[in-house]
Amino acid sequence: MTDKTNLPSRHVTEGPSRAPHRSYFYAMGLDEEAIAQPWVGVATCWNEAAPCNISLNRQAQAVKMGVKKGMGTPREFTTITVTDGIAMGHEGMRSSLASREAIADTVELTMRGHCYDALVGLAGCDKSLPGMMMAMVRLNVPSVFIYGGSILPGRLDGKDVTVQDVFEAVGQHQAGNMSDEALAALERVACPSAGACGGQFTANTMACVSEAIGLALMNSSGAPAPYESRDQYGEASGEAVMKLIEKNIRARDVVTRKSLENAARVVACTGGSTNAGLHLPAIAHEAGIDFDLFDVCDIFKDTPYFVDLKQVGNMLPRTFTRQAACLL
């Protein structure tokens, strides 16, 4: 039996007065042993809005297996995502940055409302990554972040293509240099799988950040979304969060001023999204760390840009996250 003296889940699982609470848990198929174990929230931004989110539900099942292996009780829940790739170019873009705060808030509310002891968060698109990490630091519970993974490249005329090529093709079409038929052929093959946009845009940038600040397992961000190795990292993350509970290592023990500086350097050297200038200070704020846009810009100016990163073939974030970490 777990000693829950210092665990939040004691408020919903322990003592005679919590019999009504436990009756709900029995209704969901839990037994006495599962109720007595530490409770881990497994939060995903799964939805059917875009390919970046579509595999998160499957990956969450692997996380839950890892939590169970570590003698914990996983409780899966979801939150929203507003995907820039769909929201851009119309009124929907006003919802994008605001969704980051909504994600952080809803994860916090679920974790606090149900007294979960730790958090494993899965996110796959732009604002959902920093939103999930903000929630972890705000809650300051044992936490592990998992990126859903980048999309695989498409193939056209013997070449790899991504959504970046489609954006460029729109300009070519408007200039009269590409036919309707050629544009239609490209758009049908550019995004052939689940996963985030194939470029060092905000999602892949913040995936690198998740490793650099220490919330994600090393190398866990690299494999594309469809790869089976993503499930292996999911299971390992579930086991890892149970070790964090045992050792009482919390998010703010990991996310420090030094780790944020390291993350900014990773962004700079990989030519990452300038949106990191918004997201890194937001994560720092949740941790009570003074690290603002000017600090990020100073690091950007001081860091050499040494790789043109495009998530196709073997050009994956993990390789350069390790190299960039050596710059400090």
pLDDT, tens digit (0-9, with 9 covering 90-100), for 161-196:
999 999 999 999 999 999 999 999 999 999 999 999
- Are 238 and 38 contacting, i.e. CB atoms less than 8 angstroms apart? no
Overall average pLDDT of the 91-104 stretch: 97
**Contact in structure between 36 and 9 (CB atoms under 8 Å):** no
Amino acid at 148: G
Of 44-58, 101-115, 231-245, 305-319, give the lowest mean pLDDT range: 305-319
- CB neighbourhood size of 268 (10 A): 22
Cβ-in-10-Å burial (0-12, 13-18, 19+) of 175 comes to exposed
Q: How confident is the model at residue 1 (pLDDT cuts 50, 70, 90)?
A: low
Q: How many whole angstroms separate alpha carbon 189 and alpha carbon 298?
A: 40
* pLDDT of the residue at 199: 86
- Rounded CA gap, 194 and 177, in Å? 30
Which pair of structure tokens corresponds to residue 299? Answer: 């690091």
**Confidence grade of residue 315 (pLDDT, cut at 50, 70, 90):** very low
pTM confidence score: 0.92
Predicted local confidence at residue 103, as pLDDT: 98
Asked if the model's pLDDT at residue 311 lies above 70, the reply is no
pLDDT at 308: 75
β-bridge mates for residue 73, sequence order: 39
* Tokens read off for 320: 């350069």
pLDDT at 287 over 70: yes
pLDDT at 320: 38
Calculate the dihedral angle through the C-alpha atoms of 196, 202, 207, 212, rounding to the nearest 10 degrees. Answer: 170
**Dihedral-angle region of residue 26 (phi above 0 means left; psi in -120 to 50 means alpha; beta otherwise):** alpha
When pLDDT is cut at 50, 70 and 90, the band that residue 326 belongs to is: very low
Q: What is the pLDDT of residue 310?
A: 62
Among residues 177, 104, 169, 140, which one has the least CA distance to residue 252?
Answer: 140
Domain with CATH 3.40.50.2300 in the chain: 37-152+193-325
Tell me what pLDDT residue 79 has.
Answer: 97
pLDDT of residue 2: 84
| 254/316 Cα distance (integer angstroms) | 24
pLDDT band at residue 317 using 50, 70 and 90 as cut-offs: very low
Q: Which of 37-46, 261-270, 301-310 has the lowest mean pLDDT?
A: 301-310
Given a cut of 60, whether residue 322 has pLDDT beyond it is no
CATH class of segment(s) 37-152+193-325: alpha beta
Burial of 143 (0-12, 13-18, 19+ CB in 10 A): buried
Q: Please identify which residue in the block is written with the tokens 């962004």.
A: 267
- Residue 268, pLDDT score: 94
| Residues 276-292, mean pLDDT to the nearest whole number | 97
